[in-house]
Structure 1
């Protein structure tokens, strides 16, 4: 059958269009399938270092891992607790690695100003209180009862105490209730600050070695307790809110689940260092081991951290970011 010319022409045009479309399709730019987002570089991590060796132990391991596993540049700043919170709120500090309570500061900077966040527990259990060396508790068993402390004032009188018993403190920047407790429990004692954690430890060590009478503020976790097992004096039992008014405190110190605090912007930045700090958890025994390396064995923080990390890979590998 003969095909009319107009049909043949239409067919030719259609074929040409199809051919052109096919050719055009072949030269369209190919769009690559989306891949995983680029990893965020760590950059600079700035950490507060508070003045007790347990805190230094936390800094040691976090700093070492940040530098050697995440390629961070780490800056460490020696600060008191109050200074740490202020600089963290101002964005000059990224994280506080061991926080003991501070509900007032949490309300100000986390709840009200919203410039800081709670960034996970450290795994450490914090116990603050009054302690005496073991020999003294064995010689005078009643001394561990706070209601009988005035009967033993004579043991703790010194040239500095003005006829009262002397209760030793450590670094004067530590937040303590000791003066209020003495006043409100009507105890015939006065507080004398040794000036540092190291001097407080040395006072307790000497007291045990030389059978001297010493009573003072102390806390766990603390590596020194594995050397001298100080005896904790039980004050009136802590109940929630009993320390709400610092001037009226008449109860023992609150037991703490220690936590970490981060600058909000840092915490939400996606930085691998923020993930490392949030994931970081260990035990009192872990911290005491690293602290002992630093103070007793005179290792640098990096040396102490490496020794512990080499021995505990199953613990710290879970702290690293998943990426």
Structure 2
């Protein structure tokens, strides 16, 4: 049996159009049993996970893999419509689980943790924290927002966002904390990283939305701003959020029909977990070293058989 190709589909706009239509739900339509359709969300850490999984599915298990590039929320809609089988890194989205999970449409299933621990927060470079030690507290930040003024924001401090489609409650936090800040979106993860690295190299102040797992955390010396802890319900009003982001045990989301089929591809993905360090290693090769994603995945797989071989379902371990 020949190994199937990896197909990358640039489908953000297509998927949105597809899943927002009034077509009959296709979750019950049979997929090609030799193909796995995986959402590919727009940050390099997710891509690192997806590429490694796709490489192993192809090279060790003889599956074809379609990586469908699509934003977070449309990924769930695509699973509901039956055109994607798995999201490999989900950041919360309890509202979507209510809509599409067992208490809603019943078309998606919580696949359990993928091993990554997700942290979202506000960060500054360590040199900013050294110059203004109080700036990493809420009161200190409130008194020093002028440090982050730019030509674009004028009398207000700049808060550098990433991609508008990411999980974010930043405006609600700015409102609730009474901070004289204006959000400026970089537009994408790569654009934000480029801007943060530029300012870091120049020793310029920058306050920005960021997260872990993320390979840049291991390159730059960053300090997370200490904000009031997240408590259940504190983010209920998106216009006023008086708390930090929650911690996330990142998880997998499966199409219900894919789980019911229970074939080796599902069992492999169900078995899969890895660490933030694993993901960051692959993500750095892609984003910082400029390797082709498949090449980065191949290198990691070749160097870490003790990590990934236990993910293989029975019957594939000796290949």
Q: Could you say which TM-score interval applies, normalised by the shorter chain?
A: 0.7 to 0.9
Equivalent-residue separation in structure 2 for 1:131 and 1:199 (angstroms): 16
- Asked whether the 8 Å contact 2:39–2:70 carries over to 1, the reply is yes
Out of 160, 177, 184, the residue aligned to residue 185 of structure 1 is 177
The equivalent residue for 1:26 is none
Show the counterpart of 1:50: 41
Residue in 2 that maps onto 1:169 = 161
The 2-side partners of 1:232 and 1:178 are apart by 14
Shift of 1:273: 1.2
- Preserved contact between residue 175 and residue 239 of structure 2 (Cα < 8 Å): no
Counterpart in the other structure of 1:298: 290
1:238 aligns with 2:226: no
Q: Are 2:62 and 1:71 aligned?
A: yes
Contact 2:91 2:167 in 1 (8 A): no
1:35 is matched with which residue? Answer: none
Q: Is the 8 A contact 2:158 2:183 kept in 1?
A: yes
SS at structure 2 position matched to 1:228: coil
The residue aligned with 1:252 is 244
Which TM-score applies when normalising by structure 2? 0.86
Give the distance between the partners of 2:280 and 2:94, measured in 1 at CA.
Answer: 26
Distance 1:235 1:186 in 2: 13
Alpha-carbon offset, residue 42 of structure 1:
4.5
In structure 1, the partner of 2:115 is 123
Q: What is aligned with 2:145?
A: 153
Matched with 2:96 is 105
Partners of 2:253 and 2:296 lie apart in 1 by 24
1:311 to 2:303 alignment = yes
Between the aligned partners of 2:207 and 2:268, the Cα distance in structure 1 is 39
1:263-311: per-residue Cα shift (whole Å, max 9, x none)?
Answer: 0001111221111111110111000000011111111121111111111
Give the unaligned 5+ runs of structure 2.
1-31
| Structure number with higher helix proportion | 1
The equivalent residue for 1:284 is 276
State the Cα distance separating 1:128 from its structure 2 match.
0.1
Aligned partners of 2:238, 2:212: CA distance in 1, in Å? Answer: 22
Hey, what does 1:33 align to over in structure 2? Answer: none
Give the CA deviation at 1:175.
2.1
C-alpha displacement at 1:120, in angstroms? 1.9
User: Does the CA-based 8 Å contact 1:133-1:207 persist in structure 2?
Assistant: no
Residues 1:200 and 2:174 aligned together = no
Q: Secondary structure at the match of 1:278?
A: helix
1:95 aligns with 2:86: yes
Provide Cα deviations, 1:171-196, integer angstroms capped at 9, x if missing partner. Answer: 11112000111011111101110011
Asked which structure has the greater CA Rg, the reply is 1
Confirm or deny: 8 A CA contact 1:42 1:273 kept in the other structure: no
The total of aligned residue pairs comes to 283
Aligned to 1:209: 201
Q: Which structure 1 residue ranges, 5 or more long, are not aligned?
A: 1-40
